[in-house]
Chain A
Amino acid sequence: MTAPSCRAIWEVIGPVLELDEIVVRYGSNTAVDGVSLTVDPNRTVAVLGPNGAGKTSLGRACMGLVRHGGRVRVDGEDISRRRPDQRHRRGLAYVPSSARVFPTLTVRENIEFQNGVPKSYWPTITARFPILGEKEHQPAGQLSGGQQQLLSIMRALAVGPRYLILDEPSAGLAPVVVKEIFDILADLPGGPVGVLLLEQNASLGLGIADDCVVIVRGQTRLSGRAADLIGSPELQHLYLGMPGGDPAKEPTQTSP
């Protein structure tokens, strides 16, 4: 079990994304209350928890979109005082839970407006996802929810980030589409990327994650390997969103 709080700073070897005692406050409301975790490159960490737990605030704090206490370190470098665009240059990429694309920019512009996108990127992704190629010159606002989500993920990966922050990739999408997106997330194109996945639906999150942290009301309640946490009664108690699951009712495994 990875217990990030046990790792002293000098024991960290090699590249890693570290969130160290992150605190986010909105007025008198404390959304994130001292959460710590690490993301290794090429591994996926799922941050689970019910809504209002502080997952989105954690993601925004990591990207610098909101003021936060605590430290964010990329490969040992402290970027806590950096603006979001500066953190992007240090290797962080971000996909928000809503407003994921630039609606009036074309599909291609949504990817290539960034500095440092290789010329080979567009042909590569249109080969794998022809739908993007078909809509190359259409305003991104005309795409469906699922297509916009796909576009947003491709935008984030375009500059070859080291760490990708995904905020509620399932939000606002129909279940069929969510499944397709998560299939893609399990097999991301491009080089090795450490993924910080913020997700309310635990079964989806656990399905593709290596490690998992569960936060409720801004505090870490559980952490461990994803495989160990599937089906754990503690997690079930915090409501997984499994089909038919409702903690207020007795679980009925057999029908009368």
Chain B
Amino acid sequence: MDTRKSVAASGLLVLATAIIFSSTGFSPTTVGILSSALIIACLAVSVQMIYAMLGELSLGQSAIFGTAAFAYAVVTVNLHDPGLGILIGLLLALIMGAVIGGAVCNVTHAYFSVITYAISFLCGVIVRGSRELGGSEGLLGLDPLPTILTGFYNADILIYAGIAFLLSVTLLYFTWRSPIGLSLEAIRADRWLARSFGINTRLMVVVAYVLSAIPAGLAGVVFAGTGRYVGPTAFELYYVVIPIAVMALGGTRSLLGTLTGCLLLVAVPLWLSIGALESQILAGLALAIAVIVLPKGINDALLRGVRLVVRRTGRWKVGLPRRSEPAESSPIETTEPAFAAGPTAPLRASGVVVRFGGNTAVDSVDLQIAPGEIVGLIGPNGAGKTTLVNAITGLVPLAAGDVEVDGRLLTKVPAHGRARAGLARTFQTVALVEVLSVHQNFLIAQARGRVLRTGLRLPRLTAAAQEAVTLCGLGHLLDTKVSELTNLERRVLAVGLTLAANPKYILLDEPTAGLSPQDRVEFVRVVRRVVEHRGVGVLVIEHDVEFVTEIANRIVAMHQGKVIADGVPAVVLNDSAVVSSYLGGDWSRARA
């Protein structure tokens, strides 16, 4: 389902509104109401960008909005140049976005929301205390935006607001479809997963925030230039919560919903001259009720009602569009060779020590994987196997030791950098971006986190990713949502995704947990195919000793953070220390 219907529907709504309101003859009041609604709509788009893509509730939009508004105000009051005011306003909005993004790049959930909230609050406090910025009264008599469009001041105001909104929505649309949007979706799913794909999670949060600052900045500039007044109220909770209420009411991914929400929560109360106090109470209650009763927004509920009445069988999605071309029709991108040659030097972890508090989880471990070798890592629960892999891949800090991959020292390189250097891994609990399709997951994996280069262009599968798809036999499932795959398909997909990034070494953490014996046989076949084809080195953590014997050239046994044996399976599995630590007396008798 494409967005043409939704754009058309939105256009119709705007037109209808314009016609209805123009019956009162475009009076300043009407124009003021409509432009207020559109300004809030821009803020709602700004909040949506963070929420729809990062999954976090940002309360900092008013800080950006207020900053842009005040920048415009200061410039026009002192220099009387509205054009420059717009520019500086937007610039400062972007900077503020970067600052807030940088502040919250590491945090999630409640912390994210409270910190952004506190920053908005702090801005209000600063402005109130500053005479140059108008103190508690604010700045008056700002120069209006240049009346260059229609020559009619009132019409111009509306057009400016409309342009701001259209630009905001276009930006949201293109960002969401782009590799940037996809990698933000991966961050939203699981930050460690995103880093293992090579995504620089902190940088991407800042990028998302800077992008969301554009609609908020536009809103601020238009607000200042049309209202011709700014005050500390620009930083108030109102400009934070109303956009969120609009978003909640309209549905987080619905353009039409945003417009409907703004009409209901902003335009109608203003038109009916409902006081500021009452309309805020209304908005607050509407927000609380909306999220509880109508989690997908009022539009979705209305549409379902309409569908029931009209009895259409088609799917009426007025949300954001599908994010990539259908898998079958995508041509191959030829910016990289089909697949890079395998590694020439081993993966070497030397003297790795990992500590959590007072507990030494990994105690001076040396581990080596040669190109084309499959190494099994066994040991009882708590032996430190997963922690070792986490330390090698950089998700957990090294207390001591070094990590070297294909001759390159990676000890000081952060996790996403190690992924880009050719170190790929899967997770014990299969980590994939559930809400996206197999194809889209491959698009994320193949990018290796380098999404800023492609910008907002639509992505296509590279040759390497295409080959990964084939190697894993997932070609027929490309458009299936990951959440609908079977257990084996998910496990195989996890391996396939590591391949799409042209890795040199792949670390698999308990890849067959929960698979039936037949599935395990299939899995072994896939892994062997991968190793033969690409010449990568593979490490497999496993509990099932039998499976590991099948697949590995060499076995390393760990116990209580140390390596206790390292050699060919037959030798290691009969090593008495290994047997007693993990396998129990019965096992060696059964295998003899």
Consider the complex of A and B and state whether they touch directly, i.e. have CB atoms less than 8 Å apart: yes
Using a CB–CB cutoff of 8 Å, the interface residues on chain A facing chain B are 27-29, 50-52, 144-145, 172-176, 179, 239, 243-248
Q: Are B517 and A174 in contact (CB under 8 A)?
A: no
Given contacts A51-B516, A247-B517, 6 further A-B contacts (CB under 8 A): A52-B487, A145-B382, A176-B585, A179-B584, A243-B590, A244-B591
Q: Would A175 and B516 be within 8 Å (CB), given that A51-B487, A145-B381, A248-B521 are in contact? A: no
Residues of A within 8 A of B514 (CB): 51-52
Distance in angstroms from B189 CB to nearest chain A CB is 17
Q: Which of B517, B518, B521, B587 contacts A175 (CB 8 A)?
A: B587
Q: Are A174 and B381 in contact (CB under 8 A)?
A: yes
Chain A's closest residue to B581 (CB) is: A174
Distance in angstroms from B191 CB to nearest chain A CB is 22
B484 interfacial by beta-carbon distance below 8 Å:
yes
Residues of A within 8 A of B517 (CB): 50, 239, 245-248
Q: Are B516 and A27 in contact (CB under 8 A)?
A: no
List 13 A-B pairs, Cβ < 8 Å: A50-B516, A51-B515, A52-B487, A52-B516, A144-B381, A173-B381, A174-B381, A175-B584, A244-B590, A244-B591, A246-B517, A247-B518, A248-B518
Q: Are A239 and B582 in contact (CB under 8 A)?
A: no
Q: Are B483 and A176 in contact (CB under 8 A)?
A: no
Q: Are B381 and A27 in contact (CB under 8 A)?
A: no
Q: How far is B87's CA from A121's CA once the two chains are assembled, in angstroms?
A: 75
Q: How far is B516's CA from A52's CA once the two chains are assembled, in angstroms?
A: 8
Chain A's closest residue to B590 (CB) is: A243
Q: How far is B484's CA from A172's CA once the two chains are assembled, in angstroms?
A: 26
Q: Are B484 and A29 in contact (CB under 8 A)?
A: yes
Q: How far is B583's CA from A176's CA once the two chains are assembled, in angstroms?
A: 7
**Chain B interface main SS type:** helix
Chain B's closest residue to A243 (CB) is: B590
Q: Are B380 and A174 in contact (CB under 8 A)?
A: yes
Q: Give 8 closest A-B pairs by Cβ, nearest first.
A: A176-B584, A50-B516, A51-B514, A243-B590, A239-B517, A175-B584, A174-B380, A52-B487
Distance in angstroms from B369 CB to nearest chain A CB is 25
How many B residues, CB 8 Å from partner? 22
Q: How far is B517's CA from A52's CA once the two chains are assembled, in angstroms?
A: 12
B336 interfacial by beta-carbon distance below 8 Å:
no
Residues of A within 8 A of B591 (CB): 243-244
Distance in angstroms from A204 CB to nearest chain B CB is 12
Q: Which of A144, A172, A175, A245 contacts B586 (CB 8 A)?
A: A175
Chain B's closest residue to A242 (CB) is: B590
Distance in angstroms from B500 CB to nearest chain A CB is 26
Residues of A within 8 A of B515 (CB): 51
Q: How far is B587's CA from A175's CA once the two chains are assembled, in angstroms?
A: 9
Distance in angstroms from A110 CB to nearest chain B CB is 19
Chain A's closest residue to B547 (CB) is: A246
Q: How far is B486's CA from A158's CA once the two chains are assembled, in angstroms?
A: 38
Q: Would A174 and B586 be within 8 Å (CB), given that A51-B514, A247-B518 are in contact? A: no
Q: How far is B518's CA from A247's CA once the two chains are assembled, in angstroms?
A: 8
Residues of A within 8 A of B380 (CB): 174
Residues of A within 8 A of B585 (CB): 176
Distance in angstroms from B587 CB to nearest chain A CB is 6
Q: Are A52 and B381 in contact (CB under 8 A)?
A: no
Chain B's closest residue to A216 (CB) is: B516
Residues of B within 8 A of A239 (CB): 516-518
Q: Are B583 and A175 in contact (CB under 8 A)?
A: yes
Distance in angstroms from A28 CB to nearest chain B CB is 6
Distance in angstroms from B546 CB to nearest chain A CB is 8
Distance in angstroms from B170 CB to nearest chain A CB is 33
Q: Would A179 and B586 be within 8 Å (CB), given that A27-B484, A28-B484, A174-B380 are in contact? A: yes
What 0/1 pattern do residues 552 to 592 of B give for CB contact below 8 A with A? 00000000000000000000000000000011111100110
Chain A's closest residue to B381 (CB) is: A145
Interface residues of B in 482-501 (CB under 8 A from A): 483-484, 486-487
Q: How far is B381's CA from A144's CA once the two chains are assembled, in angstroms?
A: 9
Residues of B within 8 A of A145 (CB): 381-382
Residues of A within 8 A of B486 (CB): 52
Q: How far is B26's CA from A55's CA once the two chains are assembled, in angstroms?
A: 67
Interface residues of B in 513-548 (CB under 8 A from A): 514-518, 521, 546
Q: How far is B484's CA from A52's CA once the two chains are assembled, in angstroms?
A: 13
Distance in angstroms from B290 CB to nearest chain A CB is 24
Distance in angstroms from B492 CB to nearest chain A CB is 14
Q: Which of B381, B483, B590 contacts A172 (CB 8 A)?
A: B381
Interface residues of B in 72-92 (CB under 8 A from A): none
Q: Would A174 and B518 be within 8 Å (CB), given that A27-B484, A29-B484, A51-B487 are in contact? A: no
Residues of B within 8 A of A248 (CB): 517-518, 521
Distance in angstroms from A179 CB to nearest chain B CB is 7
Chain B's closest residue to A238 (CB) is: B516
Residues of B within 8 A of A246 (CB): 517, 521, 546
Q: How far is B591's CA from A245's CA once the two chains are assembled, in angstroms?
A: 12
Residues of A within 8 A of B381 (CB): 144-145, 172-174
Q: How far is B590's CA from A245's CA once the two chains are assembled, in angstroms?
A: 11
Distance in angstroms from B379 CB to nearest chain A CB is 10
Q: How far is B520's CA from A246's CA once the two chains are assembled, in angstroms?
A: 10
Distance in angstroms from A175 CB to nearest chain B CB is 5
Residues of A within 8 A of B483 (CB): 27
Which of the listed residues B486, B516, B546 has the most CB atoms from chain A within 10 Å of its own CB? B516
Chain A's closest residue to B522 (CB) is: A248
Q: Would A174 and B582 be within 8 Å (CB), given that A51-B487, A145-B381, A244-B590 are in contact? A: yes
Distance in angstroms from B377 CB to nearest chain A CB is 16
Distance in angstroms from B358 CB to nearest chain A CB is 12
Distance in angstroms from B405 CB to nearest chain A CB is 31
Distance in angstroms from B101 CB to nearest chain A CB is 34
Q: How far is B590's CA from A239's CA once the two chains are assembled, in angstroms?
A: 18
Residues of B within 8 A of A28 (CB): 484
